[in-house]
Every structure is written in structure tokens, then in C-alpha cells.
Structure 1
Amino acid sequence: MKLYSLSISFRSEDGKVNLLKAEHDLSSFGYFQRSSVREFMEFTSKILVERTAVCTRASVKEQDYMCHVYVRSDSLSAVLLADHEYPQRVAHTLLNKILDEFSNKVPKGIWSTAKPSEVDFPDLEPYLKKYQNPKEADAMTKIQTDLDETKIILHNTIEAVLQRGEKLDDLVLKSEGLSTQSKTFYKTAKKTNSCCVIL
């Protein structure tokens, strides 16, 4: 999973897009390709902001990349360019978070005219680095990963028990915690299911 670009823009009422701040991770591209790749990413981000309706989130496929865009009701917009493996939910969580922080720290009066060098918002680079690993950056993804690992562990434990069928039979027969009726039920169920394969 990889994030390549995170940018913040403002779309004025006449449809013009003003890039306010952008951060890129171009380390996976050749040194001489980087300036062209950066220009392409900024161009793509601008088009996405121009073409996305206000109060809308979208994820758009472009060749080997996914472009995630969010245009808020105040026309402040953010675009995240990532690979296809990056989770969409985490991408949109990042866009929402970064726009909230930006609007709290940067005065609205300069959004339509300020150049990126004039905007004091150093938070893009740390966020781009932090969110490279969505499992570490996003609590929900981390919890889901932990749950998935737990399911795998439980699944392996059940499989291990099923592979010891004879020992399980012995345990059932010797168990004092099971009534005679339960033991009979187990034997009957085992005979009935003996023709079936457990997947």
C-alpha cells in the first residue's frame, strides 16, 4: 500500500481551482521522472476538484492509481492519490481530518488567492508519512486487523481439535461433565455425519 500525493485546494464560485498546499512521496519513481510525475499529480488533482460536486466524496481509478477526492460545502477540497490496495475508508478519513485541521488553522479569507508558499500549514507531510501504513494510522483498520488475526487463531485451534478426532472421542467418553444423554447424542451425531466432510 502506498500514498503518493496529498493536496488541499479551494474552488471558487467561477470554478477556478487554487492549489493551497501539496505534499508528495515520489521515492518510488526515478529521480528524473519525479518532476513530471508531480506535475501530473497536481494536474489530476485540479481536474478532480473542478469536476466533483460540492459536498461530495469520490474515488476515481486512473491507470495504476486511485484518486480520492472530497469537496466540502465551503468548496475547500482535498485529494489523495494512492495505489489500488489502499483502503478507501481510511483515505476518506484522512481527507476529512486534514480539511478540518486546515480550516481551523488557515484563515478562510486567503483560500481563493494564496499561493502554496504563502500558506502556513506544515501538517501535510507528517500525515502523508503517518498514513502510509493505514493499520497504524487508523484505529478502525488496526482493530479490524486484530480481529482478523483473532479469527485466524480461532480457526486454527478448531482445525487442530478436528484433526484429533480419536482423542476427542476418548475425552467425550471419559468426561464426567457430560450426561449419558449428551454422550449418546455425540455418538449418534458422529455416526450420522461420518459420511460428510467438514470444510
Structure 2
Amino acid sequence: MPILYSCVARGKNILVDHTSSNEGSFSQVASSALHNISTSSDYKTIYEADQYLFFVYVKSGVTYLCAAEKDYSRTKAYDYLLDIIEKTESYTVSQDSEFTQQQREEITKIMTNSSGKPVNTKLTKLQDDVDELQDIMIHNVEQILKRGDKLDDLMEKSDLLELQAQSFAKTTKKVHKKYWYKNARYKVILGVIIGIVVVTILVIIIVVAT
């Protein structure tokens, strides 16, 4: 299957796009994806929507995107984008605003006629496998980092609970010590009173006996 949709965008603004299929709302999906695409550095990535893959290549602050079915070669898709980049880079570098009508027509023609650079089938398959493995590894690293953030939160909560437990233990010891002293004092006072009573009784008994 061929490339079904392609576009060139700066930030969230699609400068020019082209579609060769009426199957999906590619332009809407692309517009939505652009909100999540950073253009601060050059890189490439893949987004998945329904049964389609959206291949993204960011270069010099400009986003180049194309859509194809899931079984389409990743290598061919990126070769297609590289071909467009090479043929339109002079437009995107010199143009800070939207393209003129003539530029849009020229880029659309390039998108229509471009088929990517010719590649060897075996090498294409191998490169696709490598790219897929790379995507899986990146995804796994992102998940690990997310779990790492959650672990950090748990560690912070655990440390806080530990501090609260230590504070509670200290407070408990103070209260226990305070009441121990208070009970000891009451026992001493009670012992003194009993002693006085016993002595008084003994005195009375002695006096009566004599």
C-alpha cells in the first residue's frame, strides 16, 4: 500500500498536506498529534491511530509527517519523508510563516510523485526489525521512567510516614514518662498517708493500753 497522507507543519500549524485516500480523517489525527510533538530537537517517532501508523520526522523545528497502514515498511516511510525534506528544505528554512500558493502546489506535487529512495527488500526488512526493536526499547524505557517517578513518590511518602512514626514514638515516650512520674508521686503520697494512719493507730493503741 502507498503513503496515504503526508504533511509539513511548523508547530501546531499544518503548512501543507496531501492525501491519496478517503479512508480516514488523517488531517484531524495529524492536527491532534502535532499538539504532542516537540520541535525543540531533531528526531523521529511513530504514532498509532486505528489501523494506521503516523511516521514523524522533526528537523530544524519543522515536522514532516506521513501516514500508512500498519504493515507498511518503516524504512520506506522514513525514506519518503527524507525525500520530501531534501526537496523542500529550502522552503521550510526560508519561510517563517505560511507557504505561498505556488509553494504549496510545488510541495504537494513533490508529495504526490515521491516514492522514497529505492531500497533492497532484505535490507528493508532488517531495518524495519531494528526500528521496531528500537521503538519497543524506547517504550520500555519510558515505562521504567514513569514507574521510577511513582517509586520516588512512594519513597517520599514512606520517608514521611517514617518521620511521623518516629515523632509519634517520641511523643508516646514523653507521655508515658509523664504519667509514670505522676503515678509514682501518687503512690508515694498514698504510702505516706497510710504510714501516718498506721502510726496514729499504733499511738492510740499504746495510749489506751497504758
Instruction: Output the TM-score relative to the length of structure 2.
Output: 0.49
Aligned length: 121
1:98 maps to a residue whose letter is I
Paired residue for 1:56, among 43, 59, 74? 43
Residue number in structure 1 paired with 2:7: 7
CA distance in 1: counterparts of 2:9 and 2:101, whole angstroms:
10
Is this contact kept in 2: 1:8–1:20, CA < 8 A?
A: yes
Within-5 A mapping of 1:110-129: 110-114=95-99, 119=104, 120-121=106-107, 122-127=109-114
Residue deviations 1:77-127, cap 9 Å, x none?
Answer: 1111100110112211221221121113x2634343336665342211101
How far 1:43 sits from its partner (Å)?
2.0
2:64 partner amino acid: A
Equivalent residue, structure 1, for 2:56? 69
Q: Which amino acid aligns with 2:9?
A: S
Cα 1:58/1:108, change in 2 over 3 Å: same
Q: Does 1:83 align with 2:69?
A: yes
Output the amino acid matched with 1:101. Answer: K
Matches within 5 A, 1:18-33: 18-26=13-21, 29=23
Q: Unaligned 5+ residue runs, structure 1?
A: 12-16, 30-36, 132-136, 146-199
Task: Give the residue type in structure 2 aligned to 1:53.
Answer: S
Instruction: Choose from 15, 31, 54 the match for 1:46.
Output: 31
Alignment gaps of 5+ in structure 2: 126-210
Q: Does 1:100 pair with 2:86?
A: yes
Given residue 76 of structure 1, which amino acid in structure 2 is its aligned partner? V
CA distance, structure 2, for counterparts of residue 112 and residue 6 of structure 1: 19
When you count helix as a share of all residues, which structure comes out higher? 2
- Maintained 8 Å contact 1:3/1:82: yes
Q: Is the radius of gyration larger for structure 1 or structure 2?
A: 2
Deviations 1:104-161 (A, max 9, x none): 3x2634343336665342211101xx35xxxxx532337668xxxxxxxxxxxxxxxx
- AA in 2 matched with 1:92: Y
Percent of aligned pairs sharing the same letter: 12
Q: 1 or 2 for the larger relative contact order (CA 8 Å, sep ≥6)?
A: 1
Please say if residues 77 and 99 of structure 1, whose CA atoms lie closer than 8 Å, have aligned partners that are also in contact: no
1:34-71: per-residue Cα shift (whole Å, max 9, x none)? xxx4xx31122123233122322111111110111111
Letter in 2 for 1:41: F
Two-structure CA RMSD over aligned residues (Å)? 2.6
Identify if the C-alpha distance between structure 1 residues 9 and 115 changes in structure 2 by more than 3 Å, giving closer, same or farther.
Answer: farther
